C-alpha cells in the first residue's frame, strides 16, 4: 500500500479575539474552579469575515508553498463545515476561485457537525489510496465560525454557558501520497455513531442544544470509537500505542475529562497517573485550542497542529486522534509524525499569527453582537462596513488576507487586503 | 442494593471528585449543578458510581434526572430492572 496522509497543513486562527475569563465575569457567570476548564481566549469572526475567507486565509500559505506542479495536482477541494452559506453552492467553489486553482477539480462540501474535518480527511485519504488518479492531491478545508443573531437579552442568557467556549477557525490539509507531515495508519480507525439530539444548527444563524447531553455522548463515543479501533488494530492499547493524543476540543477541560474518563474506564487508573499522562501526552494539543475556542470541524486539527509544533519528535511518534460531531458521529484514528514534519509546520509560525490578532474590548464585542452588522444567512445584497471596530481594520490588512467586501445578488465578492 | 444505598455511593463519590464539598450537607433533592459540580465533574461522579456498583451503561442513558435522588432511583432501576 502506498503511503498516504497529510503532506502539508496550515491554520487560520482569526484576526480578533476575546479574553474568556473577562467575558465570563462580564456575563456574571459563576463558574467554580474556572481554571479547570482550561479556556483562555476565543477567536471572534469579524462581520466582514465568513467561512470562505477563513478557509482561503488558512489555505493561502499552504498553496504559496507548493510548486506549480504540486498546485496543478490538486484535483479535489473538500470544504468541511457546519457554517454553510448556501444550501446548494459549496464553499469549495469560492475557495477554488480565490486560490487560483485549475478547473479539473472536484468541488463539494461535507456536513456532520464537528466530525466534518475528519470525514473530509478520510475521504481524501480514500481518494489517494484508490489510485483512480495516481499522484492526485486533495485539499481538505475545515472552516467554522459562530455567528449568532442575538436580538435580545433572553437570547444572550440562553447562550450564556456555550458562549465562552465557542470560537472560529479554519485549517487546510493537503492530502497526498507524499505525507511529509502526518503519515496516516491506513485502515486503523474506529467509529461510534448513533442518533442523539445533543447540539444542532436547526435554523439560519441559530444553534440549539443540551450541553450535558452532548458531553455524555462525547464520552460514550470516545470509549466506543476507541474500542472499535482496538477491534481492528491488533495489540492497540490506549496507554502504550500512542506517544500523543489529540481530541476534538470544545474546551480544554472537556478533553482532560474525556482522557480521565477513558483512563478510569479502561484501566481504573489512579488520579496521579492520569494527571501525569495527560500532561505528557495531551497538554501539547491544547497549545492553540486554548487560544481560539471551539472551532468545530477544524478543532481536532488545531489540536494536532498544537501537538506537532510543541511536542517532542526526536524520534517519530504515533498520535491517536479522536473526532466527535454532535448528532452524532465519531472516529478514532492514528498516524505518525516525524521531526521533518515538525520543522515544516514550525515554519508557518502559527503562534506568531495568533499573537497578532486584535484583542476586542467587551464594548467592541457587544457592538459586533448586538449591532446590525451580522450578515444573516440568505442576505441578497449588502456592502460590508470594514470600520465597524475601527482599530481592528488596520490589524486585519496583512497584505495576504482575503476579506468580504459585498454581496450582490447573493454572489459574495472578496478582495485581498 | 437499593436506591438509598446507591445515593450514599453517589454522595461519597461527589466528595471524592470535589473535595470542597466534603463537609457540605447533601440531600436527595439537591442537584449536582446547584452544588457547583460542573459538567465534567458530574460525569466523573457518574462513571465512578457505575464502577462502584458494577454497572456498565452508556452515559447517555443517564441523562434526565434533575437531582441526586432521581439519579439514584434511575441507577437502581437499571441495576435491578
Per-residue model confidence as pLDDT tens digits over A324-373: 999 999 999 999 999 999 999 999 999 999 999 999 999 999 988 876 78
Closest residue, chain A, to B57 (C-alpha) = A220
Q: Is the confidence at residue A66, as pLDDT, over 90?
A: yes
Give catalytic residues of A, as residue numbers.
Answer: 82, 114, 248
Question: What does the mean pLDDT of chain B come to?
Answer: 94
Read off the pLDDT band of A146 (50, 70, 90). Answer: confident
Grid look-up 488494530 returns A233
Tens-digit pLDDT profile for residues A388-409: 999 999 999 999 999 999 999 9
A24 neighbourhood in chain B, CB within 8 Å: none
Tens-digit pLDDT profile for residues A163-181: 889 999 999 999 999 999 9
> Which pLDDT does position A129 carry in this prediction?
97
Q: Which of A135-149, A293-307, A363-377 has the lowest mean pLDDT?
A: A363-377
> Which pLDDT does position A84 carry in this prediction?
94
Q: What is the b/e burial string over A178-204, where b = at least 16 CB atoms within 10 angstroms of the residue's CB?
A: bbbbbbbbbebbbbbbeebebbebeee
Q: Is the confidence at residue A42, as pLDDT, over 80?
A: yes
Closest residue, chain A, to B17 (C-alpha) = A271
Residue A18, helix vs strand vs coil: strand
How distant is the Cα of B79 from the closest Cα of chain A, in angstroms? 18
Of chain A, the end-to-end C-alpha distance in Å amounts to: 44
Q: Is the confidence at residue A157, as pLDDT, over 80?
A: no
Closest residue, chain A, to B36 (C-alpha) = A32
Smallest CA-to-CA distance from A267 within A226, A229, A306, A308 is with A226
Task: Find the angle CA(A407)-CA(A395)-CA(A417) to the nearest 5 degrees.
Answer: 45
Distance CA B67, CA B37 (A): 12
Smallest CA-to-CA distance from A1 within A182, A128, A121, A119 is with A128
What nine digits make up the cell of A356? 497578532
Pick from A36, A196, A265: which is nearest to B60 by CB? A196
B42 neighbourhood in chain A, CB within 8 Å: 212
Distance CA A164, CA A120 (A): 27
CA distances from A152 to A148, A157, A331 (A): 11, 9, 38
Distance CA A322, CA A334 (A): 9
Query: Contact, B18 vs B12, CB < 8 A?
Result: no
Cα-based torsion angle of the residue sequence A237, A240, A244, A248 in order, rounded to the nearest 10 degrees? 20
CB contact under 8 A, A260 and B44: yes
Task: With both helix axes pointing from N to C terminus, report the angle between B39-52 and A252-267 in degrees, rounded to the nearest 10.
Answer: 10
A37 neighbourhood in chain B, CB within 8 Å: 38
Smallest CA-to-CA distance from A162 within A113, A215, A122 is with A215
| Cis preceding linkage at A328, omega within 30 | yes
> Which pLDDT does position A110 carry in this prediction?
98
What is the pTM assigned to this prediction? Answer: 0.95
Query: Contact, A216 vs A41, CB < 8 A?
Result: no
A217 neighbourhood in chain B, CB within 8 Å: 59-60
Q: For A281-285, what is the mean pLDDT?
A: 98
DSSP symbols for A129-189: HHTSSTT-EEEEEEEE-------SHHHHHHHTTTTTTB--EEEEEEEES--SSEEEEEEEE
Query: Residue A211: CB partners within 8 Å, gap ≥ 6?
Result: A161, A162, A199, B39
Pick from A217, A253, A256: which is nearest to B60 by CB? A217
Task: With both helix axes pointing from N to C terminus, report the angle between A211-232 and B39-52 in degrees, rounded to the nearest 10.
Answer: 60
Distance CA A18, CA A32 (A): 20
Helix or strand (DSSP H, E) at A56: helix A51-64
Indicate the DSSP class of residue A294.
B
CB contact under 8 A, B47 and A211: no
> Which pLDDT does position A150 carry in this prediction?
56
Residue A337, helix vs strand vs coil: strand
Query: Residue A93: CB partners within 8 Å, gap ≥ 6?
Result: A107
- Give chain A's contact residues with B (Cβ, < 8 Å): 31-33, 36-37, 196, 210-213, 215-217, 219-220, 224, 253-254, 256-257, 260-261, 264-265, 268
A253 neighbourhood in chain B, CB within 8 Å: 38, 40
Distance CA A231, CA A226 (A): 9
CA B39 to chain CA centroid, nearest Å: 12
How distant is the Cα of B3 from the closest Cα of chain A, in angstroms? 22
Tens-digit pLDDT profile for residues A11-34: 999 999 999 999 999 988 877 778
Distance CA A329, CA A115 (A): 7
> Which pLDDT does position A162 carry in this prediction?
80
What nine digits make up the cell of A117? 474535518
For chain A, what percent of residues have pLDDT higher than 90? Answer: 86
Helix or strand (DSSP H, E) at A323: strand A317-325
> Which pLDDT does position A154 carry in this prediction?
59
Closest residue, chain B, to A195 (C-alpha) = B60
CB contact under 8 A, B38 and A261: no
Read off the pLDDT band of A306 (50, 70, 90). Answer: very high
| Neighbour-count burial of A272, counting CB atoms closer than 10 A to its CB (0-12 exposed, 13-18 middle, 19+ buried) | exposed
Q: For A288-301, what is the mean pLDDT?
A: 97
> Which pLDDT does position A148 carry in this prediction?
62
- Give chain B's contact residues with A (Cβ, < 8 Å): 20, 36, 38-40, 42-44, 47-48, 51, 58-60, 62-63
CB contact under 8 A, B40 and A254: yes
Complex ipTM above 0.85? yes
Query: Contact, A138 vs A175, CB < 8 A?
Result: yes
Smallest CA-to-CA distance from A143 within A375, A319, A373, A302 is with A302
Helix %, strand %, coil % of chain A (to 5)? 40, 25, 35
Q: A18 forms bridges with which residues in the sheet?
A: A42
Question: What does the mean pLDDT of chain A come to?
Answer: 94
CB contact under 8 A, A216 and B36: no
- List chain B pLDDT tens, one digit each, 81 residues: 899 999 999 999 999 999 999 999 999 999 998 998 988 899 999 999 999 999 999 999 999 999 999 999 999 999 987
> Which pLDDT does position A413 carry in this prediction?
98
What nine digits make up the cell of A405? 467586501
Q: Is the confidence at residue A149, as pLDDT, over 60?
A: no
Query: Contact, A330 vs A203, CB < 8 A?
Result: no
CB contact under 8 A, B59 and A219: yes
B63 neighbourhood in chain A, CB within 8 Å: 210, 212-213, 216
> Which pLDDT does position A169 carry in this prediction?
98
Task: Find the angle CA(A394)-CA(A398)-CA(A400) to the nearest 5 degrees.
Answer: 140
Closest residue, chain A, to B60 (C-alpha) = A216
Spatial strand order of the sheet with A16-19 comes to A41-43, A16-19, A358-359
Amino acid at each position: 500500500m502506498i503511503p498516504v496522509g497529510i503532506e502539508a497543513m496550515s491554520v487560520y486562527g482569526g484576526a480578533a479575539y476575546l479574553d474568556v475569563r473577562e467575558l465570563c465575569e462580564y456575563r456574571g457567570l459563576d463558574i467554580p474552579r474556572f481554571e479547570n476548564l482550561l479556556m483562555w481566549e476565543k477567536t471572534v469572526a469579524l462581520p466582514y469575515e465568513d467561512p470562505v475567507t477563513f478557509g482561503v486565509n488558512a489555505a493561502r500559505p499552504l498553496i504559496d508553498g507548493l510548486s506549480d506542479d504540486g498546485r496543478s495536482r490538486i484535483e479535489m477541494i473538500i470544504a468541511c463545515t457546519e457554517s454553510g452559506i448556501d444550501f446548494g453552492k459549496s464553499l469549495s467553489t469560492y475557495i477554488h476561485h480565490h486560490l487560483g486553482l485549475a478547473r479539473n477539480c472536484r468541488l463539494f462540501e461535507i456536513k456532520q457537525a464537528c466530525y466534518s474535518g475528519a470525514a473530509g480527511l478520510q475521504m481524501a485519504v480514500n481518494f489517494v489510496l484508490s489510485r483512480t488518479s495516481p499522484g492526485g492531491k486533495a485539499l481538505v478545508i475545515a472552516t467554522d465560525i459562530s455567528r449568532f443573531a442575538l436580538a435580545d437579552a433572553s437570547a444572550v442568557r440562553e447562550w450564556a454557558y456555550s458562549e465562552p467556549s465557542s470560537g472560529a477557525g479554519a485549517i487546510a490539509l493537503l492530502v497526498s501520497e507524499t505525507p511529509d507531515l502526518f503519515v496516516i495508519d491506513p485502515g486503523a480507525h474506529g467509529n461510534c455513531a448513533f442518533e442523539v439530539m445533543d447540539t444542532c444548527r436547526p435554523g439560519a444563524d441559530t444553534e440549539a442544544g443540551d450541553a450535558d447531553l452532548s458531553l455524555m455522548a462525547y464520552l460514550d463515543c470516545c470509549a466506543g470509537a476507541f474500542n472499535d479501533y482496538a477491534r481492528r488494530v491488533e495489540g492497540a492499547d490506549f496507554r502504550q500505542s500512542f506517544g500523543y493524543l489529540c481530541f476534538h476540543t470544545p474546551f480544554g477541560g472537556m478533553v482532560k475529562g474525556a482522557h480521565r474518563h477513558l483512563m478510569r474506564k479502561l484501566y481504573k487508573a489512579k488520579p496521579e497517573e492520569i494527571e501525569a499522562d495527560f500532561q505528557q501526552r495531551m497538554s501539547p494539543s491544547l497549545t492553540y485550542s486554548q487560544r481560539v475556542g471551539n472551532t468545530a470541524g477544524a478543532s481536532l486539527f488545531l489540536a494536532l497542529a498544537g501537538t506537532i509544533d510543541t511536542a517532542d519528535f526526536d524520534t517519530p511518534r504515533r498520535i491517536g486522534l479522536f473526532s466527535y460531531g454532535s448528532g452524532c458521529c465519531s472516529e478514532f484514528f492514528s498516524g505518525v509524525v516525524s521531526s521533518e514534519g515538525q520543522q515544516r509546520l514550525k515554519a508557518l509560525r502559527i503562534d506568531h499569527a495568533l499573537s497578532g490578532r486584535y484583542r476586542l474590548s467587551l464594548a467592541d464585542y457587544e457592538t459586533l453582537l448586538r449591532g446590525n452588522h451580522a450578515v444573516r444567512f440568505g442576505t441578497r445584497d449588502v456592502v460590508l462596513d470594514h470600520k465597524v471596530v475601527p482599530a481592528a481594520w488596520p490589524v486585519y490588512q496583512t497584505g495576504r488576507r482575503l476579506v468580504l467586501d459585498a454581496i450582490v445578488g447573493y454572489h459574495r465578492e472578496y478582495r485581498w487586503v | 442494593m437499593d436506591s438509598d444505598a446507591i445515593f450514599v455511593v453517589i454522595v461519597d463519590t461527589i466528595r471524592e471528585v470535589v473535595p470542597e464539598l466534603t463537609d457540605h450537607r447533601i440531600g436527595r433533592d439537591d442537584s449536582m449543578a446547584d452544588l457547583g459540580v460542573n459538567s465534567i465533574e458530574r460525569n466523573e461522579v457518574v462513571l465512578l458510581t457505575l464502577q462502584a456498583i458494577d454497572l456498565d451503561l452508556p452515559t447517555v442513558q443517564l441523562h434526565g434526572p434533575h437531582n441526586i435522588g432521581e439519579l439514584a432511583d434511575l441507577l437502581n432501576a437499571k441495576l435491578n430492572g
